[in-house]
Chain A
Amino acid sequence: MASLQRVFGKNSAYWLIGPAAVWLAIFFLFPMLSLLTTSLSDPAGSPIYGYDLTWRLQNYFEAISDYWPYMVRSLIYAGIATLLCLVLGYVLAYAIAFKAGRWKNVMLVLVIAPFFTSFLVRTLSWKLILADNGWLVESLQWLHILGEDGRLLATPFAVVMGLTYNFLPFMILPLYTSLEKIDPRLNEAAADLYSSPWQRFTKVIWPLSIPGVVGGTLLTFIPASGDYINSDLLGNPNTQMVGNKIQTLFTDASDYPHAAALSVILMVLIVGMVLFYVRRAGTEDLL
């Protein structure tokens, strides 16, 4: 890249980084400020004519007291889904990294490939699988796991399952990246020293895969906590998450200030969690 250095002088790095920096500053950082000012504005305005900034902190108190159940529900659903993703994702990532042999690349492509079918279409197909008269519900009823009129669709189970399904690849890829880096000889050495498979997992593999676990849980939890597609398509009015509320406040109610306040609260919670989590796990080089 020294040639570019000659063309642009010694500041060539700034010419290269410039477009990305400017774009993100204008369309990511600046909007965040805009969100913040909107959240402190008078709700009496309208989307077309704008809102007056009156430093109305009350928006936040109102948002919390009116919508806290949605917030709590989002965190719980996203938390359970992340945990399920961790278990399922770890199994698959481990199998690809250590057991797949020459099928490694094929299996990796297969992990990403479902993405190419629109995720809305895929989520809708769960509606069919979990339907009340579908084979899954009927066989579960036959096995008495579900009651006579028990159902799966439009329950919290369906929402959590949908979240797990949709964000699983985001868990698998970082897990695979960190598992793949582990030298298999470490595992062999532990076996030579008479450790059981379980000990080898807890003392060798798991500690070395922590960066992947941290990366994967963040990449799963963050989008899951803001999602409203799954709860809208697979849930019922009592499974609505904070994303549903923000969305309807913006588009249907045109109550931008309260919606913005709710967005800011979600963002603050997530940033706080990310910082806490990354610091505890000791992988500050994640950034």
Chain B
Amino acid sequence: MTQLGRIYLLAILIFLYTPILVMMAMGFNESQLYELPFSFSTRWYVALMDNQQLLKAGMNSIIIAVITAVISTCLGTMASIALSRRTFRGKSLLQLLLLPPIAIPWLITGTAMLVFFYWSGIGRGMHALLIGHVALAIPYVVLVVGTGFSTIRADLEEAAMSLGSTPIHAFFAVTLPLLFPSILGAALFAFAVSLDQFVISYFLATPGYSTLPVQIYSAIRKGFTPEINAISTLLLLGSMAAILIFARFAKPGDVRDKR
């Protein structure tokens, strides 16, 4: 049974990683047309260094993703605190309304944003992209941090207060440190949502300002070179590193009270 399970797991991993590995390998192949036999070369990485458009789009993607992660994590965490620790009118309605945006097709959200931003004068460009990405990421943050909250017992803060903490001190001394792995996870999630985002970015990008997915998409339409594989590989390694660092630091479930 365990043998079968191992084979199954291996099959899933192969299924998940083969296309990515092939993509990465092709970035190191001499041929522009992805022809075999494979002959190792770094020429596409060298070429990439001169491809200002791709590099700039990649940079934009990372900047937008980082800012989105910071803003949405702050806003989402605050919302999460209110939703899990306070009672107020319309709370359950708000909680309910947070979920549909995750399920609404991005094409629809994107169209709605484009129309709304045009109508309200916000327009397109970096700021519009940021607003869009933050709006998209917040529900994920609220979900992830909210789950983290549910593992922290409310009586920990009460214990702190009985020992002389004001509610604010109790929050910073007890709840926030315990919540930290969830907040970090949520930030990473928001970063990934933003980095991944194509549809909304495509709608809100301007000819002078676009993100990597948008740039790759237009490159594919125009005919492309393995430079795309090269930048994708770099980006992939960057995200993987971030996730591994997170896993190392957060040790999910380790510091939390599991009782």
Chains A and B are bound partners: no
